[in-house]
Amino acid sequence: MHTTPEAAPGQGGSQTTLVLRLAGPLQSWGDRSAFNRRDTTPHPTKSGIVGLLAAAAGRPREADITDLIGLRLGVRIDQPGTLLRDYHTVSDYRGRPLPQAGVNAKGIQKPTSPAKDTHVTHRYYLQDAVFIAAVQGPTALVIALAEAIRRPAFPLALGRRSCTPTQPIALTTVTDGTLEDILASQPWQAGQAVKDAYRRQAQQGPQPFSPHRIDLAATLDDPAGDDTLQDVPRSFAPRERGFTTRRIRHTWLNIPTGLAPTATTHPASDTGGHDPFALLGW
């Protein structure tokens, strides 16, 4: 497999894969929502990644995204993070009852009946999560998207607009190999605290610790897959939004951790003394 930071556009039906690192304090990849609830899936959706690529390329919401939808997607979970619930209450600062969604003949929102002074909403996020996403398609398109990610036209977000990503986002472009092989070849991108916790956990087990590799969950576009997700956008235009399904395959990838081998010892020996955070798994 040959990797390069910048690959030259190919000819004919050549395929190239762009590898992205999706990490940040908060992420939220919604596949459904209600007025008072915004959920997140445990991994990035195709809609969210297509939206990120479209924003980087400077495409308005009404632009055609057929070429982006056609990209094959694979996502590896390097650090699942934890679920955060953001509790909101909404009220009118003037002390008036809240209006309802319906409007009268003059286009003015109707008052709630019975009167409602406070509305409660819940928004869910993944905090401290890290994912590797690989998007595969025609070389010219993928190379253009790689350049756009590095110099985005619009601000980039990890699902919701408030979720800003950390750098770098674009890791590399790969000119050959399957999605599964490419995802399996990428180094583990988890944070150092997670890697240290993995080392401590393995050292506490009965077997000698060999930290070279780790099994990570992944989801791959696969026409023969045995599961489906309804997260393929038809359009981002406000009045034309809708989603279709894609077939996927769930798998596990055994990848290198980047950790050096050590003898089986007490976790505190890594630092030469007592580790006050060891019990917390940090």
- Identify the pLDDT of residue 19: 98
Supply the pTM of this predicted model. 0.80
| CA angle centred on 192, ends 263 and 25, rounded to 5° | 160
pLDDT in tens, 246-258: 999 999 999 988 8
The sign of the CA dihedral 168, 169, 173, 176 is positive
Nearest one of 3, 58, 24, 51 to 185, comparing CA atoms: 3
- Identify the pLDDT of residue 106: 83
Which two tokens mark 235? Answer: 């359009």
Contact 146, 170 (CB under 8 A): yes
Low-confidence ranges of the chain (pLDDT < 70): 1-12, 33-35, 205-210, 260-282
Distance between terminal CA atoms of the chain?
35
Give CA–CA dist 257/226, Å, rounded.
29
- Identify the pLDDT of residue 210: 63
Q: Which domains occur in the chain, in start order?
A: 3-87+120-187+214-257 (3.30.70.2660)
Which two tokens mark 47? Answer: 């809609």
Give CA–CA dist 217/229, Å, rounded.
16
Give CA–CA dist 278/265, Å, rounded.
14
